[in-house]
Structure 1
Amino acid sequence: MNEESTKSFQDSLFRALNLFNKHEWYEAHDAFEEIWNSVDGDERQVIQGILQVSVSQFHLSKGNLNGATILLGEGLGRIKTRTKIDIGIDLESFCQCLEDLLRKLQYKELLNENDKPFLKTL
């Protein structure tokens, strides 16, 4: 990436992270989709995984536990094998958070505000 496209990527990522961390799932999905369209390879897979997590949380907010569980598992699967990819996000802690949430969803445990996934920058 040249300097201009790197800055654009970082700006887009910052915007998407903020939306995700404010639990604006639909808007976060759209923001990450813009990024997804501009990357390839493992980075594309990681962004697609985050997209799936965003949609899973949207489903969860609408009471669709089954859809949320399926998409969360798929998103986690895409990210988990690529945690060393450097896109400026702490993917290892994100995966741990997702694994905990997935277990709670699978066992239908009571969720609270602290169970919502959060993306940390490196």
Structure 2
Amino acid sequence: MGYPEQYLQFIEKFNDGEYYECHDLLEDIWMEDKSDKFLQGLLQLSVGLYHQEYGNIKGARWMLGNARKYLTRYQAVHWGLDVTRVLRYIDECEKMLPEKDVISYTEAKAMTFPSLRLYVDTSC
């Protein structure tokens, strides 16, 4: 299957930890079909990670929860992406979030947060 170029660029940016750019890449193609909950889930995931990076823990918790809700229906694999693995990652991230709504930027940067490298199986 030929995937949209923005989707493939999203995967690269995600793996580079450029979560703000991830959102920008997928938003354009999601805006064409807002019923696509897979893309919306990936958008929410990247926004949640972006919030965590800057200490907005409440925003991170909200976005990660939404990402899980949207992506769950696409298990196990969708668009060549191991969605089940992504969902496990979201669970790990949520467990690492402190019980506060906000932490300082310095605290956020000092957090040991799980990492995930995304791979797209282009044969799907």
Q: TM-score per shorter chain, which class?
A: 0.7 to 0.9
2:14 maps to 1:15? no
Structure 1 residue runs of 5 or longer lacking an equivalent are 1-5
List per-residue Cα deviations over 1:39-76 (Å, max 9, x = no partner). 465xx101101101111111111111111111111111
Letter in 2 for 1:120: Y
Paired residues of 1:98 and 1:117 also in contact (CA < 8 A):
no
Q: What residue in structure 2 maps to residue 25 of structure 1? A: 19
Change in CA separation of 1:50 and 1:70 when aligned onto 2, cut-off 3 Å: same
Paired residues of 2:40 and 2:67 also in contact (CA < 8 A):
yes
Runs of 4+ deviating beyond 4 Å: none
Q: What residue in structure 2 maps to residue 112 of structure 1? A: 112
Q: What residue in structure 1 maps to residue 31 of structure 2? A: 37
Structure ranking higher in helix proportion: 1
Identity of aligned residues (%): 25
Measure, in 1, the Cα distance between the counterparts of 2:62 and 2:47.
10
2:91 maps to 1:92? no
- 1:98 CA displacement: 0.9
Letter in 2 for 1:112: T
The TM-score, its normalising length taken from structure 1, stands at 0.77
- Aligned residues, how many? 112
Q: What residue in structure 1 maps to residue 47 of structure 2? A: 55
Q: Secondary structure at the match of 1:51?
A: helix
The TM-score, its normalising length taken from structure 2, stands at 0.76
Residue among 57, 62, 71 paired with 1:65 = 57
2:66 maps to 1:74? yes
Measure, in 2, the Cα distance between the counterparts of 1:103 and 1:119.
20
Structure 2 residue runs of 5 or longer lacking an equivalent are 101-109
